[in-house]
Every structure is written in structure tokens, then in C-alpha cells.
């Protein structure tokens, strides 16, 4: 499959009053046309910062993308683009859906205008054509009576509908890549299900490559092709969805999978809980970032960064447990089912 | 794609003991970042704001001169010298002299005492009264709040000049006290509104609800939770109000409703100097400069304080 | 006292929402909790579960209906009795960032409640603070710190310690884990379960996270637009939900398991969650229910027992064309 996005050695830091916070440390990944890649991890792992960096949405001097980073989309070097090229790139080649539909839509513009804005800038459509196209988009995202709704303001719509509008805006110009930053976190469970179903439909219809940023493994299970698990600004494990759910090899991935109680489990039994908290990103970390909280921590883990072990074409892990000299341990996942 | 080159080279040389499982270090959970209290952090942020910090320095310098200026000059501010009438700035009289031969340097700083006192006292009194008023309105809410706020709105619509004139006519005195009363009589309304708004918002904060649920008495909630979280805002409001009071006093003295001789204020100095403006501009310039400098500095400081004291802006 | 420590009978809480509009946040809810049990309360935004929880601890006064605590009518409590109630009924809030006063140290936050209900010397208070911090898994050093120096999970633990400081019998946990990361959620839930066992606490656990609610609760109630639509033991509710809304809700839970996700039959719920302002007559769920018949639009269904211990408010369940 053709590669549409390549990110190499992405390093992003924030300059705060307390020092330099290294939010993203050497993240690399690829995305092929039409495929869905999920970034999974908890707050502070760097997944949102990575996603925003692709569109260069973080502003210097507060946020800095380090020079050793490389982002190439559809053959173009994103980090070297000037303002004009960047404007054309955003919305047209890459679209983005944000987490909170309350604050991501302009409250003083009708939703129709917000969709048309993108169309008129990138596709150079005139007002009439843009309005027709906008109605088509609203229909596509299953908003009832689109001809009437197009003139609604965001506050006249519910959370679920606003999120659909966001999807419509992002997909209006048929971009090659769609970045969805926690699109369902702020929504109720039944609405969440509706939105994920919608995204599934659109994915197949428009063949858009999708980057889904989320902390919810359940949402990912039936939606993503590949998953990369992030912790403290680094990718600790990556693989196809099947490999991550059934054959994961990193203790953090096990902890994530184990933390969610399954509906079939015994109630009030102790949930597997990771002790401690993620490391302070102010500090330089020259060893495995998960060492302090890992049940299987070894002395080497606190001294050096683990190399990325290749288990298959798609499955790669960064963990010292993969080293030939390390003891063989049981995955929590297997342990649980006994 | 992501391979750590230097490590692969040294893979074989890692000793076996490095691979025994040691698990989690239980003592690792102690807090690591140094403690930063609210005021210390605010001070640090204020210092980083170059403009506000410069304004603070200027104010401190002004205060220093106000306190010690007359002593430094060597002259009394009322000392009349018939030989030195209307002399420009020179080595003996740094700011020159007025039409009675009085040293302007001493007079300017003496006048500064009155202006600053009115400015600060006026702002503080208005703020204290306004805060209490606004706090009560916010705490009780409902009809009490409605009535209290309507009163405020009526008062706000009366121009303060009329009140000042009325009071000075009624009391037939034009002393410092009268001025203060007149200026603060309506000045507290703005702060009352601000504080009420802030307290209303605080009332529904979860930590206030938690205190309610714990059974903490209402007066304690106000004193321990709501006021400390409003103080930052009150301090900023005071800092912004001071220039207003200084200017009001200057204006009133300028039109003759304010400070009367022998006391003097910057406004009074400016008023006396305006007749000689064409010939001796320095007599007007120095008091006017001080007024402007003080007002500007307080405003810039207030700006900086607001940013420094707002916990939400903490990055 | 009877066997129930907390009882709500026909509880209603209405808010004024503009001219002639009433927001019926809680409309006729009946709840009973036995000592030591955990009742889970689930529902989506606007269903009234938070309002219900807060009314039970008298943070809001009920518009109508009664709340009984240990047999006594809560609205009739004054003075010392009210203070005793405040000691016995506590609440933990959702937002760890807003529930702690940013100007107080952790130690001060925890002792605030103690100062109201107990007479203790400084030394005794300090010892108790250390004990509580230890109990919730925090280093005693944190007593001198401020809230902003702690992470979300740590702050939530402080909120729990604050509630425990007054030695309550009943705690309303109002979405205590929603704002936390998944791995921290597990820590907090384990802690709550452990404390319940050790101290014999009764919980009302409010959440929209259905998996967590099932895990921690003995019985679960489902709310929709201000009324209770189903109430059953946790296993019964999740294994065979009876009310159409509950069925849709449970089928919508995303499972972190590929095989189950693939084979699950999802019940599709059309439409949006309607507004609790001026709700329609009859069953509130009618507009989105595919089984709705005429009677559903006329009469509000009452909670009926469809199996021992399993209640549902629906006109259609138990009928043939169901």
C-alpha cells in the first residue's frame, strides 16, 4: 500500500517556567493510504502533541518541534512549508477532529458557514456550490433535515450532532488523512457508539487514512488496523490490532488491557492497578520510561533505553524483556484467563 | 525504523545480572518538585514581567522621594524667599521656584504625600466597603442580592462631581477627610460588583460544596474559602483604582474644590502654575509629570499583578 | 432504623430554567440502600444522577418527596441533628481539579471537617491526617503541599481522605473516576472497595462508566431524564436487561476485547438525548424507543417487579409482542 504519511524521530518540547518539558521523544511511524492507526496511551504520553505536530498546530516559542524531526506527507516536507503552503495543506490534505465539540466550533458562526469556509478556501467553490456541498456533507454524517440544520448555530445542537459537524468540516475537502483527537471522550456512551459507527462507514466510503488518538482500548478494538502504544513521549509497542490485543509483549500494554474490567469478570475482585504515576517529563530519561512502575523491572531497565525488537513486519516492542538473556515472563492477559 | 544503533553494538556485552527481575521500588513515590506557595509563585511571575517590575521600581523610587525629598532639598516647602521668585531649575533649586520663591522640589514631594495618601486610602476604603457589600449580596443571593445590586446601579449613575460639590457645600469644609468621603461615596460600587460576581462563581465551586457537606458554618466558608480566593482580584482592583483617585483629587484641586493652601497636592500645584505657564512652564511640568508617572506605574503594576495572581494562568 | 440506612421516596428536584420553564432534574425517584451495600447509579448526561446524589446529602433541598437517613426525615433536621447528619453522609466529587481549595494545604483540607465535628488537639489532628493519608495510599509528606502540586489521581485520594476524616457511614461517590486515566481509575476503585470492606461504608456510586459500575456495585439503577427506568442486581442488569434503554446502553459499551466486539449485537439508538426542560407526558423514553405504543405517550410507567429483585419502568415488558 502506498505510504501517505511518514514521521521520523519527532521530538517536541515545551518551554515552561519550570524548564523544558520534553513531551514527545523520538517518535516515528508511517501511515498508508486508507489505513487506520490508533495512538493509545494515558494523559501526558504525548499522543495529542504528536497528532497536533503533524499539522504544526503548536505555536513557537512555547512549543518547539526539534530540528532532527521529519514529517513527510504525500511527498511534501511539512516542517519546511511556508505559511502559504501550510494553509493549503491544512484542511485539504489533512483534516482534524478535536476532542471537545463545545469549544471547537465557533459559537458565532452557523455550522453551514463553518463547513463552507473550508470548501471555499481549498476547493475554490463559490458560495452557492459550497452551500450545496455542505448540505451533502451534513447528509453524509447523518444529520437529519440538513437543509434546515445548515443554518443552525452550534449551541442549538447537541454534543453528538456537533461532533458530526466537526467530522463534516474535517472531511469536506476529502483529505488524505484524518486526525481524530479523542473524538468520543466527551460524549455519552450511546452517542459514542453512533459516532464510531459513522466513522466506520465514512472510512470505507472515502478511503481516508485515519489517525485515532484515544485512551479507550474498547473504542479501538473494532476500528483500527494498527495500534501504537505510547508512554511518556515514546512509542513502547506497535502492531496490528490483533497482535496488540492477543499477543502483546510490553508490560504497559498488559496493564492497559488489564485495567478495564471486562463485563464477564467477577465483581469486586481486585482490578489490576498500576502503582505510581508517569514520570516527570522535565527530567531527561536515558532509560526505559516505564521502569519505575514495571513489575518486571530489571537493573538494565534503569540504565539504558531498550532497543526496538522486531517481532514481525508489523509488530515491534521496546522492552528489555525481549533480550535473549531476559527471563521469560507470562503476559498478564494470559494470566487473567486462568 | 526506530533502532537504537549504539545499543545494538553493545548488546552482547551486557552482563547477565542486569537481567534479573527486581520489580518496583516502593519508596519512589515521594514528591519531587520543590514546594512553591501561592505568594512566592506570584512574586516570581511578577518579577518575570519586565514592564510591571520596572513600574514597581519607579513607584518605590517615587515613594522614597516623597518621604525624604523635602528633607534632602534642605528647604521647607513653605519657606518663602523673596529673592528667588520664579527661578528656573538650577543647582540650588532642582525643580526651580514658584512665584513666592518656594522651592519646588520640596513642594512637589510634599504635595505627593497628599496625592498618594488620597489615592491609596481612597482605593482601600472603597475596596473594603465594596468587598463586604458584594460578599453579602453574593452570599445571600435571591431578593437580598437583587435589592443590593439595584442600589449599586443607582449610585453608579450619579456623577461623582455633583456629590463632591454637594458635600463640600453641605459640610462647608474642604479638608482631606471631606475629599475622601466624597470620592469614596460612590467609588465602592465598581468593586462591589466585581466581588459579587466572583463570589457567586465561587459559591458553586466544588470545594465550597464540599465544605458545605462537611458541615462547616457559612461564616467560616466565607472567611476561609471565598475571601482568600477573591483577594488576588481585590488587590488588582485596588491597584487599578489608585490612579483614578489620584487623578480625581488632582482634578478637584485644579478646579478649586480640593486641597486648599497651605497644604498642597499635585493638582493644587498644577492649578497654581497654570497662570504662569507661558513664562515658567517648568512650574506646571513637574507636578504634571509626577501625576502621569504615578498613574502609569500603578496601572502597569496592576496589569502585572493581575497576571501574577491569577492561578489559572500558571503554566 | 429499619434495614435501610438511606431511603428516598418519590424524590423530586426541579430547577427554574427561565420564564415558565422547569428543569425537572429528578422526577419521582425511589431509592433504598442497605448498610454496607453499593448502589450504582448510571445514565447519560442530563439524566439527573448527580442531582440525585447531591440531594441525598442535602447539598440541594428536595422540591418534593422525602429523604430518610437512618429513618429520620432529612429536611426536618436542624442544629445538632443536622450536624450529625453532615458527619454521617459525605460526598466525593468528580473533578479533582475543582474539588480542592487551591489556597489550602492538603493537611488543612483534611482537618477542616475534623474541626467541625471533633475536639482534637493539634497533635491528635496531625496523627489522624498522617493515618488518613496512609490509608488512601499517599506519602505523609503531602500534608504540607498544595493541591496544584498533586496529580489528578492523588487529588482524588485527598478528596476521599477528606470525606473519611469525619468517619461517615454513607458516601455518595459522584463520578469519582471519570476525570482520571484508565490505570489510575483502577487504583481508585480498588481503594474504594478496600475502604468499604474495612469500614463498613455504604456507597452510592454514580458514573457513566458502565463497566466500572458493574464491577463495584451490588445493585445498579439506570436513570433516564430524571426517573429510574430499571433497578436490579449488577449481574441481572448486565446479563438480561429488560428496559429498552438499558439494553441499548449495555450494547453500546465498547469492550476492550476483539472477539467480543466483533460478535456483539449492537442495539441502535436513534436520535439524541432530549432536554430535561418541560419533558413530554408519559414515558420519557418514548421518542427513541422502537417498542413504543400509544399508552407509552399517555401514562408514565411505574417501576414494577419483573423478577424477584429486578424492577423496570416500562409498559411493554412482560407483554407478548415484546
Reported as a single tens digit per residue, the pLDDT across B173-211 is 667 777 788 888 888 888 999 899 999 988 888 999 999
Vertex C170 angle, CA C166 and C171, to 5°: 80
Interchain CB contact of C217 with A (< 8 Å): yes
Interchain CB contact of B312 with A (< 8 Å): no
Q: A260 is written with which cell numbers?
A: 478495564
E strands, A223-338, are 226-231, 234-240, 308-310, 316-318
Helices (H), C136-221: 152-164, 182-199, 210-216
Cell 538473556 maps to which residue?
A325
- With CB atoms and an 8 Å threshold, state whether C216 touches A191: no
Q: B166 is written with which cell numbers?
A: 454637594
Dihedral of CA B211/B215/B216/B221: which sign? positive
Interchain CB contact of B292 with C (< 8 Å): no
Residue in C60, C115, C49 with CA at minimum distance from that of residue B214: C115
How would DSSP label each residue in A105-155?
S-TTS-HHHHHHHHHHHHS---HHHHHHHHHHHHHHTT-SSHHHHTT--GG
Interchain CB contact of B225 with C (< 8 Å): yes
Residues 6+ apart with CB under 8 A from B173: none
- The answer to whether B202 touches B175, Cβ cutoff 8 Å, is no
Instruction: State which H helix or E strand residue C233 sits in.
Output: strand C227-233
State the Cα–Cα distance between residues B58 and C92, nearest whole angstrom: 49
State the Cα–Cα distance between residues A261 and A269, nearest whole angstrom: 10
Read off φ and ψ for residue C229, nearest 5 degrees. Answer: -100, -25
A33 CB-contact burial (10 Å; exposed 0-12 / middle 13-18 / buried 19+): middle
- The answer to whether C110 touches C161, Cβ cutoff 8 Å, is yes
Read off φ and ψ for residue C251, nearest 5 degrees. Answer: -70, -15
Mutate to test the interface with B, among A255, A272, A308 (most CBs of B within 10 A): A308
B147: confidence class by pLDDT, cuts 50, 70, 90: very high
Residues 6+ apart with CB under 8 A from B301: B52, B55, B56, B59, B239
pLDDT at C292 over 70: yes
Residue in C231, C14, C225 with CA at minimum distance from that of residue A188: C225
Of the ranges A263-277, B156-170, C164-178, the best mean pLDDT one: C164-178
Q: What is the pLDDT of residues A230-261, one digit of tens each?
A: 999 999 999 999 999 888 899 999 888 887 77
Residues 6+ apart with CB under 8 A from A136: none
pLDDT at C153 over 90: no
- Residue in C251, C255, C268 nearest the CB of A262: C255
Cell 429520620 maps to which residue?
C72
Mutate to test the interface with B, among C87, C92, C103, C164 (most CBs of B within 10 A): C103
Least confident of A5-14, A102-111, B17-26, B135-144: B17-26
- With CB atoms and an 8 Å threshold, state whether B1 touches A280: no
Cis before B262 (ω within 30): yes
Distance from CA of C137 to the nearest CA of A (A): 10
Q: What is the pLDDT of residues C160-219, one digit of tens each?
A: 999 999 999 999 999 998 888 877 888 899 899 999 999 999 999 999 888 889 889 999
Interchain CB contact of C153 with A (< 8 Å): yes
Closest CA in chain B for residue A274 = B24
Least confident of A324-328, B274-278, C90-94, C265-269: C265-269
What pLDDT does C283 receive? Answer: 84
Greater pLDDT, B168 or C213: C213
Predicted model pTM: 0.80
- What's the CA dihedral at A46, A49, A51, A53 to 10 degrees? -130
pLDDT at B33 over 60: no
- With CB atoms and an 8 Å threshold, state whether A320 touches B19: yes
Average pLDDT of chain C is 87
**C-alpha pair distances (Å), C129 with each of B240, C102, C105, C111:** 42, 18, 12, 7
- Residue in B16, B23, B29 nearest the CB of A297: B23
Q: Helices B38-48 and B282-309 meet at what angle, rounded to 10?
A: 130
As a whole-number percent, the residues of chain A with pLDDT over 70 amount to 95
- With CB atoms and an 8 Å threshold, state whether B23 touches A18: no
State the Cα–Cα distance between residues C176 and A251, nearest whole angstrom: 26
For residue A18, which residues of chain B lie inside 8 Å, CB to CB?
Answer: 33
- With CB atoms and an 8 Å threshold, state whether B24 touches A305: no
Q: Is A67 helix (H, G, I), strand (E, B) or coil?
A: coil
- The answer to whether B96 touches B282, Cβ cutoff 8 Å, is yes
A177: confidence class by pLDDT, cuts 50, 70, 90: very high
Q: What is the pLDDT of residues A134-168, one digit of tens each?
A: 999 999 888 888 898 899 999 888 888 889 999 99
A333: confidence class by pLDDT, cuts 50, 70, 90: low
Greater pLDDT, B210 or A323: B210
Q: A188 is written with which cell numbers?
A: 455519552
- The answer to whether A307 touches B7, Cβ cutoff 8 Å, is yes
B7: confidence class by pLDDT, cuts 50, 70, 90: very low
- Residue in C186, C238, C262 nearest the CB of A259: C186
Contact residues of A toward B, CB < 8 A: 8-9, 16-18, 26, 28, 30, 235, 275-277, 280, 292-300, 303-308, 316, 318, 320, 323, 325-327, 329
CA atoms within a 13 Å half-sphere pointing along the CA-CB vector of B7: 18
pLDDT at A216 over 90: no
What pLDDT does A225 receive? Answer: 92
pLDDT at C91 over 70: yes
Greater pLDDT, B254 or A250: A250
C322: confidence class by pLDDT, cuts 50, 70, 90: very low
What pLDDT does B315 receive? Answer: 41
Burial A78-103 (b: 16+ CB within 10 A, else e): beebeeeeeeebbbbbbbbbbbbbee
- Residue in C185, C189, C257 nearest the CB of A262: C257
Least confident of A175-184, B206-215, B305-314, C144-153: B305-314
How would DSSP label each residue in A229-248?
EEETTEEEEEEEHHHHHHH-
Interchain CB contact of B14 with A (< 8 Å): yes
For residue C146, which residues of chain B lie inside 8 Å, CB to CB?
Answer: 35, 37-38
- The answer to whether A214 touches A253, Cβ cutoff 8 Å, is no
B311: confidence class by pLDDT, cuts 50, 70, 90: low
C265: confidence class by pLDDT, cuts 50, 70, 90: low
pLDDT (mean) for C59-72: 92
Amino acid at each position: 500500500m502506498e505510504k501517505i504519511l511518514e514521521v521520523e524521530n519527532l521530538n517536541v518540547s515545551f518551554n515552561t517556567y519550570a524548564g523544558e518539558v520534553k513531551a514527545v521523544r523520538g517518535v516515528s511511524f508511517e501511515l498508508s493510504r486508507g489505513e487506520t492507526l490508533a495512538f493509545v496511551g494515558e494523559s501526558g504520553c504525548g499522543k495529542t502533541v504528536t497528532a497536533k505536530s503533524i499539522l504544526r498546530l503548536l505555536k513557537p516559542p512555547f512549543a518547539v518541534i526539534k530540528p532532527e524531526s521529519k514529517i513527510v506527507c504525500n511527498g511534501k516536507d511539512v516542517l519546511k512549508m511556508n505559511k502559504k503552503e501550510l494553509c493549503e495543506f491544512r484542511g485539504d490534505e489533512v483534516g482534524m477532529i478535536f476532542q471537545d465539540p463545545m469549544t471547537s466550533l465557533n459559537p458565532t458562526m452557523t455550522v453551514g458557514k463553518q463547513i463552507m469556509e473550508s470548501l471555499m478556501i481549498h476547493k475554490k467553490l463559490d458560495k452557492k456550490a459550497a452551500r450545496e456541498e455542505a448540505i451533502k456533507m451534513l447528509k453524509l454524517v447523518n444529520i437529519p433535515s440538513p437543509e434546515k440544520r445548515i443554518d443552525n448555530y452550534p449551541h442549538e445542537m447537541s454534543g453528538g450532532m456537533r461532533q458530526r459537524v466537526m467530522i463534516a468540516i474535517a472531511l469536506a475537502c476529502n483529505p488524505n488523512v484524518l486526525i481524530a483527537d479523542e473524538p468520543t471522550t466527551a460524549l455519552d456512551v450511546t452517542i459514542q457508539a453512533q459516532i464510531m459507527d459513522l466513522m466506520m462507514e465514512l472510512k470505507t466510503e472515502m478511503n481516508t487514512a485515519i489517525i485515532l488518538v484515544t485512551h479507550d482500548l474498547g473504542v479501538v478494538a473494532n476500528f483500527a488496523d494498527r495500534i501504537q502504544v505510547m508512554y511518556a513521549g515514546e512509542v513502547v509497542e506497535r502492531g496490528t490490532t490483533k497482535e496488540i490485543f492477543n499477543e502483546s509483549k510490553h508490560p504497559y500494554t498488559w496493564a492497559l488491557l488489564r485495567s478495564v474490567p471486562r463485563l464477564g469478570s467477577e465483581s469486586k475482585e481486585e482490578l489490576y492497578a498500576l502503582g505510581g504515576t508517569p514520570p516527570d517529563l522535565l527530567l531527561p530519561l536515558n532509560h526505559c520510561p516505564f521502569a519505575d512502575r514495571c513489575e518486571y523491572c530489571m537493573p538494565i531497565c534503569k540504565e539504558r533505553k531498550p532497543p526496538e525488537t522486531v517481532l514481525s513486519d508489523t509488530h515491534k516492542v521496546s522492552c528489555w524483556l525481549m533480550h535473549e538473556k531476559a527471563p521469560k515472563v507470562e503476559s498478564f492477559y494470559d494470566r487473567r484467563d486462568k | 525504523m526506530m533502532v537504537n544503533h549504539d545499543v545494538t553494538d553493545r548488546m552482547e556485552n551486557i552482563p547477565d545480572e542486569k537481567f534479573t527481575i527486581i520489580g518496583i521500588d516502593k519508596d519512589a513515590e515521594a514528591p519531587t518538585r520543590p514546594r512553591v506557595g501561592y505568594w512566592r509563585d506570584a512574586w516570581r511571575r511578577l518579577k518575570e514581567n519586565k514592564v510591571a517590575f520596572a513600574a514597581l521600581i519607579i513607584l518605590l523610587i517615587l515613594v522614597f522621594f516623597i518621604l525624604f525629598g523635602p528633607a534632602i532639598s534642605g528647604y521647607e516647602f513653605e519657606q518663602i524667599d523673596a529673592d528667588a521668585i520664579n527661578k528656573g531649575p538650577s543647582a540650588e533649586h532642582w525643580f526651580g521656584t514658584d512665584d513666592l520663591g518656594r522651592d519646588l522640589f520640596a513642594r512637589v514631594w510634599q504635595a505627593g504625600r497628599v496625592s498618594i495618601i488620597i489615592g491609596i486610602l481612597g482605593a482601600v476604603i472603597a475596596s473594603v466597603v465594596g468587598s463586604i457589600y458584594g460578599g453579602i449580596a453574593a452570599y445571600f443571593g435571591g431578593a437580598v442580592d437583587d435589592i443590593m445590586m439595584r442600589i449599586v446601579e443607582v449610585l453608579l449613575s450619579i456623577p461623582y462631581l455633583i456629590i463632591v460639590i454637594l458635600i463640600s457645600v453641605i459640610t462647608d469644609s474642604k479638608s482631606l477627610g471631606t475629599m475622601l468621603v466624597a470620592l469614596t461615596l460612590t467609588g465602592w460600587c465598581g468593586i462591589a460588583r466585581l466581588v459579587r460576581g466572583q463570589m457567586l462563581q465561587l459559591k458553586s465551586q466544588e470545594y465550597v460544596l464540599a465544605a458545605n457537606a462537611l458541615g462547616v458554618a457559612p461564616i467560616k466558608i466565607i472567611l476561609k474559602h471565598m475571601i482568600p480566593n477573591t483577594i488576588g482580584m481585590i488587590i488588582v482592583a485596588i491597584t487599578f483604582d489608585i490612579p483614578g483617585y489620584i487623578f480625581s483629587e488632582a482634578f478637584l484641586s485644579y478646579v478649586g474644590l480640593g486641597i486648599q493652601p497651605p497644604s498642597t497636592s499635585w493638582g493644587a500645584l498644577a492649578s497654581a502654575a497654570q497662570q504662569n505657564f507661558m513664562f515658567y512652564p517648568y512650574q506646571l511640568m513637574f507636578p504634571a509629570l509626577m501625576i502621569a508617572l504615578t498613574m502609569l506605574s500603578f496601572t502597569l503594576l496592576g496589569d502585572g499583578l493581575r497576571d501574577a495572581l491569577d492561578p489559572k494562568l500558571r503554566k | 432504623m429499619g434495614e435501610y440506612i438511606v431511603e428516598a421516596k418519590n424524590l423530586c428536584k426541579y430547577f427554574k430554567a427561565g420564564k415558565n420553564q422547569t428543569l425537572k432534574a429528578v422526577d419521582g425517584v425511589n431509592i433504598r440502600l442497605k448498610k454496607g451495600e453499593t448502589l450504582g447509579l448510571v445514565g447519560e448526561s442530563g439524566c439527573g444522577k448527580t442531582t440525585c446524589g447531591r440531594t441525598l446529602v442535602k447539598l440541594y433541598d428536595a422540591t418534593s418527596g422525602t429523604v430518610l437517613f437512618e429513618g429520620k426525615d432529612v429536611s426536618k433536621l436542624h442544629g445538632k441533628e443536622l450536624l450529625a447528619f453532615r458527619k454521617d453522609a459525605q460526598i466525593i466529587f468528580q473533578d479533582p481539579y475543582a474539588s480542592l481549595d487551591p489556597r489550602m494545604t492538603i493537611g488543612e483540607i483534611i482537618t477542616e471537617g475534623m474541626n467541625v465535628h471533633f475536639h482534637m488537639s493539634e497533635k491528635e489532628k496531625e496523627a489522624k491526617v498522617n493515618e488518613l493519608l496512609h490509608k488512601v495510599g499517599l506519602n505523609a509528606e503531602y500534608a504540607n503541599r498544595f493541591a496544584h502540586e498533586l496529580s489528578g489521581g492523588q487529588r482524588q485520594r485527598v478528596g476521599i481522605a477528606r470525606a473519611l476524616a469525619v468517619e461517615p457511614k454513607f458516601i455518595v461517590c459522584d463520578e469519582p473516576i471519570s476525570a482520571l486515566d484508565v490505570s489510575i481509575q483502577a487504583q481508585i476503585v480498588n481503594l474504594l472497595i478496600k475502604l468499604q470492606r474495612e469500614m463498613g461504608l455504604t456507597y452510592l456510586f454514580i458514573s457513566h462508566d458502565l463497566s466500572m459500575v458493574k464491577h463495584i456495585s451490588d445493585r445498579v439503577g439506570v436513570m433516564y431524564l430524571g426517573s429510574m427506568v430499571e433497578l436490579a442486581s449488577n449481574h441481572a442488569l448486565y446479563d438480561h436487561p429488560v428496559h429498552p434503554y438499558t439494553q441499548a446502553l449495555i450494547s453500546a459499551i465498547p469492550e476492550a476485547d476483539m472477539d467480543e466486539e466483533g460478535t456483539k449485537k449492537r442495539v441502535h439508538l436513534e436520535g439524541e438525548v432530549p432536554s430535561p426542560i418541560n419533558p413530554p407526558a408519559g414515558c420519557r423514553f418514548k421518542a427513541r424507543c422502537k417498542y413504543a405504543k400509544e399508552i407509552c405517550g399517555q401514562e408514565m410507567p411505574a417501576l414494577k417487579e419483573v423478577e424477584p429483585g429486578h424492577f423496570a419502568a416500562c409498559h411493554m415488558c412482560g407483554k407478548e409482542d415484546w
